[in-house]
Amino acid sequence: MIPAETIRPTPIWAHSAFPALVLVTISMGLALVLNPGLLSPFGLIGWSASQIGLWIAVLAQAMVIIGRSIDLSVGAAISLLNVVAVTLAGLGCSTLAVIALVLLAGLAVGTVNGLLVGYLRLNPLLATFSMSFVLLGLALQIQPAPGGSVAFEAVAVMNGATWGCPNALVALGLMLLLWRVLTASRFMLLLRAVGSDPARAFNSGVPVGRVRAQAFAIAGIINAVAALCLTYAVGSGDPLLAQPYTLLTIAGAIIGGVSLAGGEGTGPGAVLGVMFIGIAAELALGAGVSPFYQQSIVGLILLLGLVGVVLFGNWTRRLRREAIIRKLQLSQKAA
Amino acid sequence: MSSLTGTDMPQRLSLAASLRGLPHAAPLAVIAGLCLAGAMINPGFLTQGNIVGVLAAAAMLALASAGQTLVILSGNQGYDLSVGSVMTISALLVSGIAGASDAALPQAALLALAVGALVGLLNGLGVHFLKLYPLIVTLGVSFAVEGIGLVYAQTRAPSLPGSVLETLGVGSIMGLPWVVVMALLVALGLTLMLRRSRFGQMLYMVGANTRAARAAGVPVARILIGTYLLSGLLSAFAGILLYGFAGSVNLSLGAPYTMMSVTAVVIGGASLAGGRGSYIGTCLGALIFAVLTNLLISFGFGVALRYVVSGLVLLVVLSVTSREKF
């Protein structure tokens, strides 16, 4: 029997994002050994600009999963917004107008998802999957083939650096700051309640449908930011540009400690998870394996990462539960 | 979690109420409505050639959704997101080993089925013993399978299917496409299994309430793992036929079928909570998908608008057939 005093507060390794942090650290170390150029100013700018869309998109996915939903339309939504941005720029809109309109469009897409899941109570998996058809179709209608361009100055900013720090990383930092603000809000508390147990949240007076709808709407805005960053990083439009994002954001969020059971997980953790996936691909490439084997290796790493992180999470949760039970037993004995 | 149970509503002997008592009333009504619309708008809709084409497309989707049906029936948030990648790798294997020759087809098909079963077994072990969400296990496994498929495909030149497989894929017997015959056979087999066999009955029990099933002495481990194994096997079978159906193989051949199969199962009336649904329902769900696509093509819609409209119609069908409590 362990005395109650030895039960410490939750240790750092039990944090949901801890496995992702370890994975990123190890893989980043390996990647630097293989390719020291990665951390050179030029390499860092290139790498962060190529990943920034995914880094931000995973925040939207994390938001939705924390409310025990899932968004299969992320890839199609960001591709659509990318095409919208390029088309608006082609019509002569100023960069500021493009940004404002794309943010609005993202909010609209997110709101529709939110209405379907929150108010019509469709299964999120199926509702967002159906939405992905609609969004893909719209993107193909607006711009059937890759092409177009956006303002060169904005592209230069996205692929540039401020005082040695790549602007893509600055954008990520700003989004994480926004996430921090959201985390402190009442909305996030309600969302976590809905995610942990929708029935209990409902019985406690939480407007479950509205909170879910709000989560999708906010995720829509985050997706729009991701789309804008991606568009200005790439500089052109493609109706299929972000298609892989759907599965990558889900896998990344899970590796980053966001639980599919809802209620648990953090935005920075999700970003770490998706970073790990990116670095794993970089590693396979840097190790000089052929691109054919690269996907195979990344696939295996993803499988092991997903399974390992979730098992580790279950284990730490069990440890914490047992600690609480022991504590209760001790206090009962004392009484 | 569908709202159409009707038990807590006063029973009225209206036409609608008695229709609701019919099995598969909702999907049948949707199909009838779509066909009616098709016949009115496009005179070519009810011609034999068009009907056969629609049936073949529906049969292919129904075959691809067979494993998904079992997994969704097994409940516990069961989805099999590896359906598409198993189909792809099975088509790749058959194409790589048998190529255009008929003599090597049996060995190739057996190997493909074995690989499918192995992937299914891995899924089942992960779901049952590691207590992981099926979504995570099957997604992770499908990433790995896709990668392996790419490695395998790299060393082979693409080839056309042999004459036997081509006949099974696009040929027909007495005016009925072979894929439809295959889907009917699978439908017969699966329905018998689900309704009459011990395994099928136990699967429904596990899906409806795993704890109660365990308490009643159902070997939950065997049923769950067996279900995922069967799903892998059936997906591999569908993949072999898809190779003949499509006439060639590429690395994203099966990918669209993953989510389409989930949708077909749910539109067919199965509950995502598990324990309720049937393979006949899934076949009707697949038919809705096929009729809808055909209808949109006959409208002269381009690819883009077809995607938009089919997404919208899916949403409407989903909001009629399956709404959740929370």
Interatomic CA distance for residues A299 and A40, integer angstroms: 28
**Does residue B3 have a pLDDT over 70?**
no
Closest partner CB to A123 (pick from B132, B139, B272): B272
Angle, vertex CA A57, rays to CA A51 and CA A63, nearest 5: 145
Q: How large a percentage of chain B has pLDDT more than 90?
A: 37
Kindly list the residues from chain A whose CB atom is less than 8 angstroms away from the CB atom of residue B136: 254, 260, 306-307, 310
Burial class (CB in 10 A: 0-12, 13-18, 19+), A240: middle
pLDDT, residue A75, reads: 93
The model's pLDDT over A50-64, given as tens digits with 9 standing for 90+, comes to 899 999 999 999 999
Kindly list the residues from chain B whose CB atom is less than 8 angstroms away from the CB atom of residue A136: 307, 311
Task: Name residues whose C-beta falls within 8 Å of residue B212's C-beta, 6 or more positions apart in sequence.
Answer: B205
Residue with tokens 């998109």: A57
Helix axis angle, A95-114 to A124-142, nearest 10°: 150
Chain B nearest C-alpha distance from A162 (Å): 37
* One-letter identity of residue B307: Y
DSSP B277-302: --HHHHHHHHHHHHHHHHHHHHTT--
Is the separation of the CB atoms in A329 and A6 below 8 Å? no
Closest partner CB to B144 (pick from A121, A134, A299): A299
Residue B275 in domain: yes
Check A126 against B262: CB less than 8 A apart.
Answer: yes
**What band does A9 get if pLDDT is binned at 50, 70 and 90?**
low
Check A129 against B303: CB less than 8 A apart.
Answer: no
Check A134 against B126: CB less than 8 A apart.
Answer: no
pLDDT, residue B322, reads: 66
**Does residue A248 have a pLDDT over 70?**
yes
- Range of lowest pLDDT (A251-255, A312-316, B70-74, B320-324): B320-324
**What band does B19 get if pLDDT is binned at 50, 70 and 90?**
low
Burial class (CB in 10 A: 0-12, 13-18, 19+), A162: exposed
**HEC profile of A153-176:** HHHHHHCCEECCEEHHHHHHHHHH
**Does residue A217 have a pLDDT over 50?**
yes
Q: What is the largest CA-CA distance in chain B?
A: 65
Q: How confident is the prediction for chain B on average, in pLDDT?
A: 85
Kindly list the residues from chain A whose CB atom is less than 8 angstroms away from the CB atom of residue B147: 295-300
CA quadruple A131, A134, A140, A142: dihedral, nearest 10: -110
Is the separation of the CB atoms in B250 and B149 below 8 Å? no
CATH, residue A172: 1.10.3470
Interatomic CA distance for residues A130 and B320, integer angstroms: 14
Chain A nearest C-alpha distance from B154 (Å): 7
Nearest Cα residue in chain B from A203: B326
* One-letter identity of residue B229: L
Nearest Cα residue in chain A from B134: A260
Residue B230, CA atoms < 13 Å, CB-side half-sphere? 25
**What band does B9 get if pLDDT is binned at 50, 70 and 90?**
very low
Task: Name residues whose C-beta falls within 8 Å of residue A47's C-beta, 6 or more positions apart in sequence.
Answer: A38, A278, A282
- Interface list for A 277-316 with B (CB within 8 A): 290, 292-293, 295-300, 302-307, 310-311, 314
Name the residue among A298, A291, A280 with its Cα closest to residue B153: A291
Kindly list the residues from chain A whose CB atom is less than 8 angstroms away from the CB atom of residue B269: none
Is the separation of the CB atoms in B307 and A136 below 8 Å? yes
Is the separation of the CB atoms in B80 and B228 below 8 Å? yes
Is the separation of the CB atoms in A139 and A242 below 8 Å? no
Query: Would you report the helix, strand and coil content of chain B in percent, each value rounded to 5?
Result: 70, 0, 30
**How many structural domains compose chain B?**
1
Is the separation of the CB atoms in B116 and B231 below 8 Å? no
Check A72 against B148: CB less than 8 A apart.
Answer: no
Residue with tokens 């906010």: A218
The mean per-residue pLDDT over the stretch A149-164 comes to 83
**Does residue B14 have a pLDDT over 80?**
no
Kindly list the residues from chain A whose CB atom is less than 8 angstroms away from the CB atom of residue B263: 126, 129-130
For B269, the 3-state DSSP assignment is coil
**How many structural domains compose chain A?**
1
Check B315 against A306: CB less than 8 A apart.
Answer: no
Interatomic CA distance for residues A52 and A172, integer angstroms: 7
pLDDT, residue B16, reads: 60
**Both structure tokens of A71:** 């968004």
Name the residue among A132, A217, A68 with its Cα closest to residue B314: A132
Chain A / chain B CB contacts < 8 angstroms: 144
Chain A nearest C-alpha distance from B120 (Å): 15
The model's pLDDT over B264-283, given as tens digits with 9 standing for 90+, comes to 998 888 888 888 889 999 99
Interatomic CA distance for residues A230 and A243, integer angstroms: 13
Q: How confident is the prediction for chain A on average, in pLDDT?
A: 87
**Does residue B8 have a pLDDT over 50?**
no
Task: Name residues whose C-beta falls within 8 Å of residue B196's C-beta, 6 or more positions apart in sequence.
Answer: none
C-alpha distance across the termini of chain B, in Å: 9
**Does residue A69 have a pLDDT over 50?**
yes
Closest partner CB to B326 (pick from A134, A141, A208): A208
Chain A nearest C-alpha distance from B55 (Å): 23
Task: Give the best-scoring range by mean pLDDT among A123-127, B114-118, B131-135.
Answer: B114-118
Task: For residue A123, give its domain range.
Answer: 4-334
DSSP A84-108: HHHHHHHTT--HHHHHHHHHHHHHH
Task: Give the best-scoring range by mean pLDDT among A7-21, A71-85, A308-322.
Answer: A71-85
Kindly list the residues from chain B whose CB atom is less than 8 angstroms away from the CB atom of residue A120: 319, 323
pLDDT, residue B18, reads: 60
Backbone angles phi, psi at B295, to 5 degrees: -60, -45
Interatomic CA distance for residues A299 and B152, integer angstroms: 14
pLDDT, residue B10, reads: 47
Task: Name residues whose C-beta falls within 8 Å of residue B120's C-beta, 6 or more positions apart in sequence.
Answer: B67, B82, B86, B228, B229, B230, B231, B232, B233, B235
Kindly list the residues from chain A whose CB atom is less than 8 angstroms away from the CB atom of residue B150: 292, 295-296
How would you classify the pairing of strands B172-173 and A161-162?
unpaired
Check B141 against A303: CB less than 8 A apart.
Answer: yes
Chain A nearest C-alpha distance from B32 (Å): 22
C-alpha distance across the termini of chain A, in Å: 17
Interatomic CA distance for residues A58 and A257, integer angstroms: 12
Task: For residue B164, give its domain range.
Answer: 48-321
Is the separation of the CB atoms in B31 and B288 below 8 Å? yes
Nearest Cα residue in chain B from A69: B326
Residue B42 in domain: no
Q: What is the CB neighbour count within 10 angstroms for residue A118?
A: 27
Where does A197-289 have alpha helices with state H? 198-203, 208-234, 245-255, 267-286
Closest partner CB to A116 (pick from B126, B306, B315): B315
**What band does B316 get if pLDDT is binned at 50, 70 and 90?**
confident
CATH, residue B103: 1.10.3470
| Residue from A73, A115, A203, A302 to probe the interface with B (highest B Cβ count within 10 Å) | A302
Task: Give the best-scoring range by mean pLDDT among A109-113, A314-318, B31-35, B73-77.
Answer: A109-113
Task: Give the best-scoring range by mean pLDDT among A39-43, B39-43, B206-210.
Answer: B206-210
Report the residue count for chain B.
Answer: 326
Residue B148 in domain: yes
Check B308 against A141: CB less than 8 A apart.
Answer: yes
Kindly list the residues from chain A whose CB atom is less than 8 angstroms away from the CB atom of residue B319: 116, 120, 122
Check B322 against A123: CB less than 8 A apart.
Answer: yes
Backbone angles phi, psi at A331, to 5 degrees: -70, -30
DSSP B101-154: -STTHHHHHHHHHHHHHHHHHHHHHHHHTS---HHHHHHHHHHHHHHHHHHHHH
Provide the CA B263 distance to its chain's centre, in angstroms. 9
The mean per-residue pLDDT over the stretch A319-329 comes to 85
pLDDT, residue B323, reads: 66
Check B315 against A125: CB less than 8 A apart.
Answer: no
